[in-house]
Chains A and B, each alone.
Chain A
Amino acid sequence: MTASPSTRIFGSGIRRREDPRLITGNARYTDDIKLPGTLHMVIVRSPVAHARIRSIDTSAAEAAPGVVAVYTGEDCSCGSVPCAWLIPDSNLLTPEHPALAKDRVRYVGDGVAIVLAEDRAQAQDAADRIHVDYEELPAVINPEEAAAAGAPQLHDDVPNNIAFTWIPNGDKDAVDAAFDAADVVVSERIVQQRLQPTAMEPRSALAQWNGATEELTLWYTTQNPHIHRLLISGMTGVAEHKVRVIAPEVGGGFGSKIPVYADEALTAWAAMQTGRPVKWTETRSENYVTTIHGRDHIEYVELAVNNDGKVAGIRGKVYAGLGAYLSTAGPGIPTILHGLMYSGAYTFPQIYCESIGVFTNTTPVDAYRGAGRPEATFLIERLMDKAAQAIQMDPVELRRINLIPPFIDGHDVAIGLTYDSGNYEAALDQALGMVNYDTFRSQQAKARDEGRYFGIGVTTYSEICGLGPSQVAGAVGFQGGLWESAIIRVSPSGKVQALIGTSPHGQGEETTFAQLIANELGFPVEDIEIVSGDTNRTPMGFGTYGSRTTPVTGAALVKAARKLREKGRLMAAHLLEASAEDIEYDDGKFFVRGAPDNAKTIQDVTLMTTLAWDLPEGMDPGFEESQFYDPPNFVYPFGTHIAIVEVDVESGEVKLLRYVAVDDCGPQINPTIVAGQIHGGIVQGIGQALCEGTIYDDEGQLLTGSMLDYAMPRADMFPWLELGHTETPSPHHPVGVKGVGETGTIASTPTVYNAVIDALAPLGVEQIDMPLSASRVWRAIQASNGG
């Protein structure tokens, strides 16, 4: 790569700097790391969804070759698994979640014992020899049924399995009055099916305990090492400053590597018990029963609309499956991150949402790419299409009538948020132009005459991301701040290390953050290294999720860089014997105004501030700055997505013909990386629409327990994704950028869903539960007037 002039580095799609190690097999993920003397841990898991443990016989396992130790819940002093999002005003109940089940198991996969052996195969052999006597109890899987009277009860201290009932600030009477007065009310029961996140790298942990120094080092597959340090400190009793959490290369997360799990904590606890390093790596089948799932809502939602197309209000009641225990952020997903999104991109005057969190005998549910916001966008967009049909208006026209008009610095929506900036109609118009919407409608009509069923779906969305102001975090019960910090450290020879508290794992910030720093300070990108993922090397941070790393850490870096630039300017003035007011900066050079040759480079001032032989009065030595940054607001990316599909009405097969996405995440630091985020998000969201979905049987057995059954999107399902973009800067971010990690997932599910329903409209099909597998589409057609 040739060095780009730093003035043009912002906005350049340069190749990623993390790639050379990844494409050559030299990157080290957690399971790739080996320590001498390591014991391998296998966790014995409950094969039944709900049972009392009568007894556990570990004697055969203890006698098996290579076994060093076996522990059950009775022997285990590892602390319970905490929940870290205690939503207020909801009567939240937080039943205990032991690291190993003591007397009762509550889902298939609940850990009951651990085996530590010299190698992994021996540990597995021994685990197979542990006999657990279970007294089976009735299980409940569906959250709506679990909340009903008479359902099997999971926790003695949680009546009716209801963990919380949450209602955002809202005037129910006013909302109901708006519905009563409206011309039309459309409603739908939406099943937001449970999904399995499936980061390609399974979770893994390697723990090392140094008894002499009482230091615990943990290599983890984590999205947020500092949070894990805090929570693991609590679970193990090791002081936080003696715990070091390292996220080496991490192979995707999508939310599933945010929570603190029993499994990783058990490696730490076992290392402390045995004095030897302990490693655990889940298999994919294990991942599918123990790593968190996403979504799992049953929603009753309604939209009130007048015949002129103006929406009068939206309201919904959500039964949110939480799984058997509260995962780290579990309660926050179907409430704060869901209910606050009910305005979408629109001027809805009245909004009401009630969310009931329910325990079921299933794997715990937590954040999965988009986390609460895709569910909200789906129901809004679904209801908009239904409303359009009800008042016989084109669905695009209905959206246009209700879109928030362009705004550059703040727009208040009824739910109580202030959106930062948006120009929704511009994105809509660009996307409509790309698909030639008007001609499509006539082609569609013609094709229907020939017995072919084409459909189009259009989503206009706005998303809350860049989480978020810490004051808001506190107000909504999040047990942490949501600020970030960064240190930019320049060595005497002008090489830069930027240390950040967030922990990217595929999003490319080693590149984009180097571009940001290069843009501010003029160091070549090659001279800038981004350091993350090690609590002993990096400053405090809350992690990479919620499309927040670039909006929040990026802002911290820019502000730190600007402090350095100011220090550099003062130093340059001193070196050039000029007044600081007369010093200008451009592209890595400080020069006297009007005399560009009379200059000092950023490297010059780095060296001279570091040597500190002759500093200006009052200046401290060194060329390093740190910055804490608490965002004043969220950021609100937006856009329009359009899908065109064809449905084979004989077989129910759905073929995606075109997919167009126009997204606005403000100025793009690296358009190639932005496009990659959007591609990935779109495909993940379409996975939910068309093929992904967890299936449990009535006894709580996971029927989608391996990649043979859980249908991941594959390359051959997709046409070439067509991207456009608009650019509306965030007014409160120092370089105007918004997050882009989740937009694709938020928009694409309803877009494709609505396209399929549009295709089948002539047959009278109005609703199909996701995923829209060929079998379900066929069945809906059979049940309609086309069957």
Chain B
Amino acid sequence: MQVAITVNGQTYERDVEPRLLLVHFLREVLDLTGTKVGCDTSQCGSCTVHLDGVALKSCTMLAVQADGREVTTIEGLAQNGELHPMQESFWEHHGLQCGFCTPGMIMASTAFLQQNAEPTEAEIRHNLEGNICRCTGYQNIVRAVQAAANGGDG
């Protein structure tokens, strides 16, 4: 089936099988491998991207469902060579170790701050419930999101 999906500002027209998941479209068809697959039950959040501006687990949508829509992946977050403030904040506050959950964490957190610009620590922790990290114990991720919400000076 023919689809036209805009990813990070560029529209890609491709012929895909209906069963192709959006995450595999990104990783296998477009070679945008920053988006990760860490589970098969829609739990871990490693595959989080933005679809029309809101956070989506891209393993839980078919590529054909994204036809005509706009996707932003971790590769598209930095603009004009400038890291997104959330990326800076994860770096500054050691919000990552092995880095595998990180693209999903950053995408989920940026979407969250768009809805809640001044979250409490408890709200940040609650809103990370769809993203699992095994390395960091979450503390520096929470710190990074707090700092990003405060304009970088956590």
A–B: direct contact at CB < 8 Å: yes
Measuring CB to CB, which residues of chain A are less than 8 angstroms from any residue of chain B?
13, 15-16, 18-20, 22-29, 31-32, 34, 121, 198-202, 249-252, 254, 283-285, 505-508, 672-673, 675-676, 679-684, 706-708, 712-716, 718, 720-721, 744
Q: B137 contacts A681, CB within 8 Å?
A: yes
* Residues of chain A contacted by B39 (CB below 8 angstroms): 284, 706-707
Measuring CB to CB, which residues of chain B are less than 8 angstroms from any residue of chain A?
17, 19, 27, 31-41, 43-44, 46, 73-75, 77-78, 83, 87, 90-92, 94, 96-103, 106, 121-122, 124-126, 128-129, 131-142
* CB closest chain-A residue, reference B35: A25
* CB closest chain-B residue, reference A200: B100
Q: A284 contacts B38, CB within 8 Å?
A: yes
* Residues of chain B contacted by A198 (CB below 8 angstroms): 134
A752 to B84 alpha-carbon distance, docked (Å): 38
A268 to B137 alpha-carbon distance, docked (Å): 35
The DSSP consensus for interface residues of chain B is loop
Q: A707 contacts B43, CB within 8 Å?
A: yes
> Which of A32, A252, A681, A718 contacts B33, CB < 8 Å?
A32
Q: B83 contacts A285, CB within 8 Å?
A: no
Distance of A277 from chain B, by nearest CB (Å) = 15
A704 to B73 alpha-carbon distance, docked (Å): 31
* CB closest chain-B residue, reference A705: B41
A24 to B106 alpha-carbon distance, docked (Å): 10
- Given contacts A24-B78, A25-B73, A26-B34, whether A285 and B97 have CB atoms under 8 Å apart is no
By Cβ-Cβ distance, the 7 closest A-B pairs, closest first, are A25-B34, A251-B100, A506-B98, A22-B99, A679-B137, A683-B137, A25-B74
* Residues of chain A contacted by B137 (CB below 8 angstroms): 676, 679-684, 713, 718, 721, 744
Distance of B94 from chain A, by nearest CB (Å) = 5
Distance of A239 from chain B, by nearest CB (Å) = 32
Q: B134 contacts A680, CB within 8 Å?
A: yes
> Which of A252, A676, A679, A708 contacts B43, CB < 8 Å?
A708
Q: A251 contacts B91, CB within 8 Å?
A: no
A679 to B91 alpha-carbon distance, docked (Å): 17
Distance of A707 from chain B, by nearest CB (Å) = 4
Distance of B151 from chain A, by nearest CB (Å) = 18
- Given contacts A200-B44, A285-B40, A708-B43, whether A25 and B33 have CB atoms under 8 Å apart is yes
Q: B129 contacts A716, CB within 8 Å?
A: yes
**Residue picked from B27, B97, B142, most chain A C-beta under 10 Å:** B97
A506 to B140 alpha-carbon distance, docked (Å): 14
Distance of A598 from chain B, by nearest CB (Å) = 41
Q: What are 8 A-B pairs at a CB distance below 8 A?
A: A15-B92, A23-B103, A25-B32, A200-B98, A249-B98, A679-B140, A680-B137, A716-B125
* CB closest chain-B residue, reference A687: B134
- Given contacts A201-B36, A505-B98, whether A715 and B128 have CB atoms under 8 Å apart is yes
* CB closest chain-B residue, reference A26: B34
**Residue picked from B78, B122, B137, B142, most chain A C-beta under 10 Å:** B137
Distance of A31 from chain B, by nearest CB (Å) = 8
Q: A22 contacts B102, CB within 8 Å?
A: yes
Q: A252 contacts B125, CB within 8 Å?
A: no
A566 to B87 alpha-carbon distance, docked (Å): 41
Q: B38 contacts A202, CB within 8 Å?
A: yes
